[in-house]
Amino acid sequence: MTRLSVWTAALLLAATAAHAQSGAERPRARDVGVVVGILPPGPLDAITDVAGVRVGHATVVEGDSVRTGVTALLPHGGNVYREPVPAAIVVGNGYGKLLGVTQVRELGEIETPILLTCTLCVWTAADALVDLLLAAPGMEEVRSINPVVGETNDGFLNDIRRRPIRPEHVAEALAAASGGAVAEGAVGAGTGTVAFGWKGGIGTSSRAVPPALGGGTVGVLVQSNFGGVLTVNGAPVGRELGPFAFQSGLGESADGSIMIVVATDAALDARLLERLASRALAGLARTGASLTNGSGDYVIAFSTARSGEPLVPNSAMSPLFQAVAEATEEAVYNSLFRATTVAGHRGTVEALPLDRVLEVLDAYGVRGWDRSLPPGGDR
């Protein structure tokens, strides 16, 4: 492997400095020349590029052993119970605790905000969400509600048996939900997560399908907490950096979980959203994940399109499939690139060493180029 080039070092320094000035500590993947796929991102390269979608975090750090949080996603700014959105859920591997799945599958819609949190906090978060929704104006006669709450196990950095999430944390995440740029890395539900043996967290990305290919925006947000052998833009980063899963023993650093939330403004019903959600797993696989035995891998997809819009035909779905695969892949990278080193309950998890990662990417020639289609779709 060659030494870090002057160009590489300068680019990383500039990107890091720019983010430091904005209050962030580490760059996103695209900031340092990691361009994923061929479709252009939305203006924010985030799930909030889908109009109306809002994201909020509550980060919970207490003493030296609590490192967890809540991330809330709202499909729109209204009452989601009164204005549910078409939705689907795909299970890549069912080793997890995703609440609300059967009603979403039965009715093909989501009627609450989506919450992400830690494994043993799912029920507390769901109970708090239900309390808040039932107390809202216009909900006085509601006697059934289906909260959708997903999780990953952050039990290395977080003393998960304390079940530290409280109702006020759910309220904080919901109150903080907004459009615009989304905080990534060790924040919210990603505060205590680990991915590929490095610090994982929250990551997001988006793709704008050019009008010539049918149009529409697809946004993805991930809570990364899984294992495997990290691949970045096709380069074998995990193999080069080591250690990696299975290197010393079967299952080592391989199990974990990921929650993937997909939003789109394309007019898709539950059946089409299920097709879209399944393609997010293609993007996950490109990062080096193998959906191991103890990994809970779930995709929740919803559409914000107005009721009555003509549905996208099956024959026009392929560009959206490409979009969701690319956005999922980049969202995972952003969750790693933006995450910082965290010390917690059972030890310390180091942030992905970006200088070494960029050396690998340059050695394999997968950085610093962009052949994305223009937004209008014309070459």
Point out the residues that are catalytic: 257, 295, 297
Whole-number Å distance between alpha carbons of 242 and 240? 6
Q: What single letter denotes the amino acid at residue 175?
A: A
Sheet of 202-208: strand order equals 109-110, 85-94, 296-303, 257-264, 217-225, 202-208
Query: 344 pairs with which residues across the strands?
Result: 347
Residue 198, SS3 per DSSP: strand
Residue 307, SS3 per DSSP: coil
Residues 6 or more apart whose Cβ sits within 8 Å of residue 241: 230, 353, 356, 357, 360
Residue 11: CB atoms within 10 Å: 18
Whole-number Å distance between alpha carbons of 152 and 225? 6
Q: Write down the residue that tokens 């992400």 correspond to.
A: 116
End-to-end CA, the chain: 36
The count of C-alpha atoms lying within 13 angstroms of the C-alpha of 74, restricted to the half-sphere facing its C-beta, is 23
**CB burial of residue 174 (10 Å; 0-12, 13-18, 19+):** buried
Q: What single letter denotes the amino acid at residue 322?
A: Q
**Chain length of the chain:** 379
